[in-house]
Amino acid sequence: MIYLTSDLHFCHDKDFIYGARGFDSVDDMNAAIIENWNALINDDDEVYVLGDLMLKDIETGIECWNKLKGIKHVILGNHDSNARVELYKDCPNTDILGYAFPLKYKGYEFLLTHYPTLTANYDDDKSLKEKVINICGHVHTKDKFFDWDKGIIYHVELDAHDNKPVTIDQVLSEIKSKLK
């Protein structure tokens, strides 16, 4: 199974992160992310994490990251510094894909990025399979379709998905429903 998520922000001890997600502390948020993730993800599932894995306490952040099941593919975000990326590279079941990654799935084309990204121009007459769908995070919105007015852009940050990764099939289903 393929899952998508972004903006884990392990150890980001600011209330505007953990409080907005419904937690009383960063420790509560870290624990809930790990619990939610591991309840969904199996060891052989692939998870594309679209940036911002951790902030502040990097040692604890790496410990949290290493507790997550699955094969983890990282698209870099604005908080993924060079020093953090070097640490990610040493983590098991983790590969770094850079700042953007094209993904084909069931005849659909996705561009996985941390930042919302325009992927088309004047292609309203084309079918969804002829378009490039941007999957992103970054803005910490609770609205999966926050940038819909700019194109086929879908947000997978934890904030928009009850602090859980989302399957690529759910993403496709929700986009198709939105286009009806």
d(CA 147, CA 156): 12
Count CB atoms within 10 A of the CB of residue 119: 18
- The reported pLDDT for the residue numbered 172 is 98
Cα distance between residue 85 and residue 125, in whole Å: 40
Percent of the chain scored above 70 by pLDDT? Answer: 99
Using CA atoms, how far residue 99 sits from 16, 41, 50, 128, 171, in Å, is 25, 24, 9, 24, 21
Distance CA 151, CA 163 (A): 25
Question: Contact 64/30 with Cβ under 8 angstroms?
Answer: yes
* 47: CATH: 3.60.21.10
How many angstroms separate the CA atoms of 71 and 123, rounded?
Answer: 34
Owner of token pair 């992310």: 33
pLDDT of res. 96 = 98
pTM of the complete model = 0.96
pLDDT less than 50: residues of the chain: none
Residue 117 belongs to domain spanning: 2-179
Q: In the chain, how many domains are there? A: 1
